[in-house]
Amino acid sequence: KDMDTHTYRLPLGVCAGIAPFNFPAMIPLWMFPMAMVCGNTFLMKPSERVPGALMFLAKLFQDAGAPDGTLNIIHGQHEAVNFICDHPDIRAISFVGSNQAGEYIYERGSRNGKRVQANMGAKNHGVVMPDANKENTLNQLVGAAFGAAGQRCMALSTAILVGEAQKWLPELVDRAKNLRVNAGDQPGADLGPLISPQAKERVCSLIEKGVKEGASLLLDGRNVKVKGYEKGNFVGPTILAKVKPNMTCYKEEIFGPVLVVLEADTLDEAIEMVNNNPYGNGTAIFTTNGATARKYSHLVDVGQVGINVPIPVPLPMFSFTGSRASFRGDTNFYGKQGVQFYTQLKTIISQWKEEDATIAKPAVVMPTMGN
């Protein structure tokens, strides 16, 4: 009796973000605007490979009226990451990047009592049913596999062709052959270079390993040459077929313009393949059958599912819900989950007894000076 209970959502204080190279503007915008709207200040570390985009964002943010000191930028590599993980004033860390880095940041940050959300690697599967719209599906597969040279965590890097859809493979190869490789600032370029010579070397190594382990190399992009950039980090569209789940090119995230193709006889077999893979970022099914789509979306153990949508990245009012080995933490990025991550709850219980209430004599005259 006479008690009230209220729960408030309050800012944490100082939060931090660590962003990858591949989306140097978009990923920071997943982080600091929401954190700051929730009342926090923010420390942002961009990738050391592309620090400029965040500096432009910060300047725009400052020009828009953000108070000094509310958004801060730190540059660096391991020492900067360790500083963020260890500093006692930082309450929460948002990270997007590789599994190796994400696991390290999640473990070290959590050990120091911080909230950590880490979006990490992926092996996103596109399941192609024989009743799918063929033209649309082939175009979607090629665009989702090779766009951004495959350097995105939602790239559709794995195709499972079910039943009669396996006959579409030659046409898939032909469409991939028509993509144009060039510097990203050149007109008509469909895909550009990889981020570094080391990245190119790793991608080429995984292609070679796939061939040695028994995959069929239907399209080889390792020897592509771009005029004026003969020593550039370019790899053209590459397709490995007859891939098996035990092959390295299937088990590892390649992060390059490489599509690995597996075959399944039934939808159930395809679902089993997807669920046996440790990653759970995104997946897509291509079909014109609603019951098939419903079964797949309910049974597949992946955080984001597209039905005839190759890259199912949610709009900002929802949340980015990658799962399993693709995510560490218990609260995802942006949307309602993002607000929850950057805030903490405080519950206040108060008691004001009715019998303690006082009733003052009402004033019936207009207040005047001295009264």
Q: Which residues are catalytic?
A: 153
Hey, which residues does 96 pair with through a beta bridge?
Answer: 119
The answer to whether 353 touches 2, Cβ cutoff 8 Å, is: yes
The answer to whether 19 touches 25, Cβ cutoff 8 Å, is: no
- Three-state secondary structure of the chain: CCEEEEEEEEECCEEEEECCCCCCCHHHHHHHHHHHHCCCEEEEECCCCCCHHHHHHHHHHHHCCCCCCCEEECCCCHHHHHHHHHCCCEEEEEEECCHHHHHHHHHHHHHCCCEEEEECCCCCEEEECCCCCHHHHHHHHHHHHHHHHHCCCCCCCEEEEEHHHHHHHHHHHHHHHCCCECCCCCCCCCECCCCCHHHHHHHHHHHHHHHHCCCEEEECCCCCCCCCCCCCCCCCCEEEECCCCCCHHHHCCCCCCEEEEEEECCHHHHHHHHHHCCEECCEEEECCCHHHHHHHHHHCCCCCEEECCCCCCCCCCCCECCEECCEECCCCECHHHHHHHCEEEEEEEEECCHHHCCCCCCCCCCCCCCC
